[in-house]
Structure 1
Amino acid sequence: MVTDMKKDIQPHVLSEGFSTSEHHETVAIKPDIELQEIPAYGPDGVRGLISSGYVLGAAFLASLGGFSFGYDQGVISIINVMEQFHAVFPQAETAFGKGLMTGMLLLGAFVGCLFMPYLADRISRKWALTVVVVIFDIGAIIQTCAQSYATLVAGRAIGGIGVGTLAMISPPNLRGTLLVLESISIVSGVVISYWITFGTRLIESEVSFRLPFGLQMVCATILGVGIHFFPYSPRWLALVNRQQDCLASVSKLRGLPDTDERVQAEFQGIITEVKFQELIQEKRHPGTHGIKRQLLAWRDLFGRKGWRRTVVGCGVAFFQQFIGINAFIYYAPTLFQSIGQSDEMSLILSGVFNVLQLVTVLVCFLIIDKIGRRPLAIFGGFATGVAYIIIAILSGLYGKDWSAHTAAGWACVAMAFLFILIFGLTYSPLGWALPSEVFPNATRSKGVALSTSTNWLSNFIVGVATPPMMENLGYRTYIFFAVWCVMAGIWALIFVPETSGKTLEEIDDVFGDTSGHEEQEVMRTAALATMRPPVQTTV
């Protein structure tokens, strides 16, 4: 991911590998630090977040990335049905034009997530994030000032390169309170931007849609500027072997002296991770270097030991989108109109729909660890399919004359609300939780990156295809999504294991390989290697 901001908020556990560099610098490490978890810095949960100004500030800045992505989702939902917008961009009123305009941002996000992690490793997470914010703001300015449809679409593609990365700045091993914060920030962006645009639509001039487009820049710019008040990521500093700076960064983030046992332990863990990644890749691909080793590391995701994990990680990302959540978010007013609601009521119901999503995101984290991932994946697939089937049946029977069958129309609304409640409790969190849990340490960063790119590409396909489907297939569109929901349930039955509360070794047993056991041994070797008395060298 582009920045390790949220990862740096948490006390570090030896868990995730990074590549190495030719930059040389060493710092003394306490020899009595063992391969174990770091002693607690303080209370867990929300109290832990507010225990340090740096921690709270970093958590706030990181949440702005998710908010920026959610903001665009909420804005485009109403802009898609604005008369003032269509007067300037008549091409966007057609089914294909509407889908292309919406989807280009997602295609840009797909492109961005492919090359931005490389940039982050080259120039640091901090400066890569700054570049991303600049790209995002350029896209937002083009959208705000566009006078032609082609310019608008180009602006959305450019903005997508930034927004896709901003939304994914959380680390692959994000857990607990910070995962709640990430999801809440995305959905909060949807809700807040929707109601802002709900208000600006009453402005008769072009300001009605240009103002919401322009406001996209506020949170992203705060993030881009605010990140420079924080030290470089300790993990990036370790990546380039700036060990003294790495220790100082950990000390500053924790608000503790660099001699503190917890700071020393976390620092040792970070240095060990760098060595671990070097050793594990050398063990798996001896004699290879550079691009060839990177390509072989990607191939590991599809090898005998890794393919089942990849099916789960990418599968949940794929089904999260093909269940049709963003078809509702992007085109909710149009969908509610298709089940007999007036233009004004469709806008209000769309806003309520988004609020319900926020409520379920808040609730889901109270149950996800208690119920488990596998039951939620199975139930979420089949249950959302039932909601779609009921909407399809009622629309097929009464869709030609909703005015004479208002009760059926409201029943469809109830099913739409049931859909978002079920989705918010199941595939909404699972789409981000499962990929970070199923991949072993050595392939986690690439596995999560592949899952993320799958999510963006699937999102793009759904965003482009939904308007033409609604225009040409009518109620059969709901059958289309129902089929994918049922397939998600079947996929979960066959492939999705229970990962909640399991160790790496226990997850190994579920997938029938020994990756976790192998990595534990390599991690111990890495820890011993980094604990040896350092030899001072010049930079």
Structure 2
Amino acid sequence: MNRYNWLCVLYVTFGSVFYGYDSACTTSILGYPSFLEYMNLDATTIGAFGAAYYAGAVVGMASNWYLPNKYGRLNTIRIGCVLSLLGVAMQTGAPGFPLFCAGRTIGGMASGIVFVVCPAFASEIAPPAIRGRIGGLYSIFVNGSYCLTEWIGLGFYFIKTDVSWRLLLGCQLIPGVLMLAFSFVMPESPRYLVFAGRQDEALGILEKMHNSEQDSSFYLREYHQIKAQIELDREERLGMKAILMKPSYRKRFMLIFWYAIACMLSGVIVVQNYQVILYTKLGFSNVMSLVLTGVWGTIGTLSATISAFTFDLMGRRPTMFISYGLILVANLVVVITWAVFENGGSTNMSLAKGIIAAMFFIGLGYGGPANTFMATYPAEICPTSVRPTGVAVAYMTQHILIIILVQFTPQAIETISWKFFLIFVCSTAIFFVVFILFYPETRGKTLEEMEGVFGDKVAETLDEAGEHLNEIGKSKIEQVEKVAHPNTVQEKSANV
């Protein structure tokens, strides 16, 4: 993987900062008395503005069924960036709750657009051997931006005016401005370009990204494989309707759908969004609660960093066994210690610390492995024509459940407290078994070779593409290269 490819990957994975910072704002801002008083919030309205953000995100994610294949990956990112600037302006300058809530909705739409198109984009430009590491980098940016925002939120807390929360919200401008500016020097996805019939541009970008001294023919074989697979899909008339009509496509989307449900029923979103409420319920001050949210974010970032380096080495399945094993045990400990804490142990701070430690283990198990899997697996198991749709389904399903959870969690914590977490214990245990039985390993395969994992026809493997290029000889290779850089080929001919 050369330097240019790394720079492109860094740009695309930076898109997760949209979501990381925005969602962290929701957590930190609940610790600001000035914000709660200014907006006159209670349990219902707290749930409402959280749900508004995630509802907007679902709409933005749904747009990925259409925008990336119609206008390209880069233009889709630009649309999200422009919407983000509008949403942030409305939130930061809001004179009251209605405009603030509307701004959160528009900001959610922007985040949903960018957060979904970027994993699909990243998978399309990453070499197969390190695709999991790219998903890990996406997870690092999510967790790192969340972590940074929590510590920034702690610092802004000590500004005892409305400036504190307006400044925190205003910093959401930074990801949008940076992504929009650098989009004009970023190349389009080569797989999208082949899909759109722009083969000459695709070959030139593939050469620039994937040509190396170690394997100077890889980009040619990759280009030939991509082109052959897209042509085969078109011959078989595979597209959006194949999601319902073709059994292997249905299987892929069901795996995506159930994994998204399992993620949200792990309990992570409840802990992440409402940990300030949970900490204060356990007897901690506002300042200490904000410190603990920073620790939560730091643990998630550490987990994501470890996962980025182990995901391709260990494989998808072993990584997720560890992830959901940790989450299951941690949820069980939360239920037990919280029940004891409420039934006579509420003066025992050791129990409170035990609950918090278990919550941190949920973040450890989810923050790296589960986030990396979500950023990698849906994109890599879906063909080019439906790849943005597959990623959109994953994150839309997640966020529909998030809307429900963020709306009702404050009331659930007030009324049934620890019993609420029994849902997450049961659902995590069920999914652990489902994952063992039904989720195939995908490590190390190209996106086109993924067809074989699900029983579909692979137009050409990389080896077959190489053999094909050898058969057609040097003259044909020069013709293919001429498409990418005609001036170089002309110079070679002149020298001969």
**What TM bracket, shorter-length normalisation?**
0.7 to 0.9
| Contact 1:109 1:164 (C-alpha < 8 Å) held by counterparts | yes
Question: 1:92-122 CA distances to partner (integer Å, 9 max, x unpaired)?
Answer: x322211221122222111112224522333
**Which moved further from structure 2: 240-249 or 94-103?**
240-249
| 1:308 and 1:495 in contact (8 A); partners too | no
TM-score in terms of structure 1 length: 0.76
Matched, 1:82 2:32: yes
Name the one with the larger helix percent. 2
Q: Which runs of 5+ in 2 are unaligned?
A: 484-496
Kindly provide the amino acid, as one letter, of the partner of residue 297 in structure 1: A
- Shift, 1:415, TM fit: 1.4
Higher mean Cα deviation, 267-276 or 204-213?
267-276
Which of these residues, 164, 168, 190, is aligned with residue 146 of structure 2?
190
Contact 2:93 2:166 in 1 (8 A): yes
Unaligned runs of 5+ in 1: 1-43, 285-292
3-state DSSP of counterpart to 1:362: helix
CA RMSD of aligned residues (A): 3.4
In structure 1, the partner of 2:256 is: 313
Query: Within 5 A, what are the aligned runs for 1:57-456?
Result: 57-90=7-40, 93-168=41-116, 169-171=118-120, 172=123, 175-250=131-206, 264-281=220-237, 294=240, 296-300=241-245, 303-399=246-342, 404-424=347-367, 426-439=369-382, 444-456=387-399
* Correspondence 1:2-81 to 2 at 5 A: 44=1, 48=2, 51-52=3-4, 55-81=5-31
- SS of the aligned residue for 1:170 comes to helix
Q: In the alignment, which residue of structure 2 is the partner of 1:515?
A: 456
Pair 1:179–1:431, CA change in 2 (3 A) = closer
Where 1:332 maps in the other structure, the secondary structure is: helix
TM-score normalised by L of structure 2: 0.82
Query: Do the aligned partners of 1:66 and 1:186 also contact (CA within 8 Å) in 2?
Result: yes
Take 1:165 and 1:308, find their aligned partners in 2: how far apart are those partners?
Answer: 25
SS of the equivalent of 2:248 reads: coil
What's the offset of the Cα at 1:338? 2.7
> 1:71–1:340: structure 2 CA closer, same or farther, 3 Å change rule?
same
Note if 1:479 corresponds to 2:418.
no
Match of 1:6 in 2: none
Distance 1:436 1:280 in 2: 21
CA distance in 2, matches of 1:346, 1:163: 26
Worse-matched range after superposition: 419-428 or 465-474? 419-428
Contact 1:340/1:399 (8 A) holds in 2: no
What is the CA-CA distance between 1:500 and the residue it aligns to? 3.6
CA distance, structure 1, for counterparts of residue 315 and residue 191 of structure 2 = 31
Over 3 Å counting, the alpha-carbon distance change for 1:246 and 1:145 in structure 2 is same
CA contact (8 A) 2:138 2:372 kept: no
**How many matched pairs?**
461
Q: 8 Å contact 1:130–1:224 — kept in the other structure?
A: yes
Shift of the 376–298 alpha-carbon distance from structure 1 to 2, 3 Å rule, reads: same
For residue 274 of structure 1, report the CA deviation from its aligned partner.
4.0
1:41 equivalent in structure 2: none
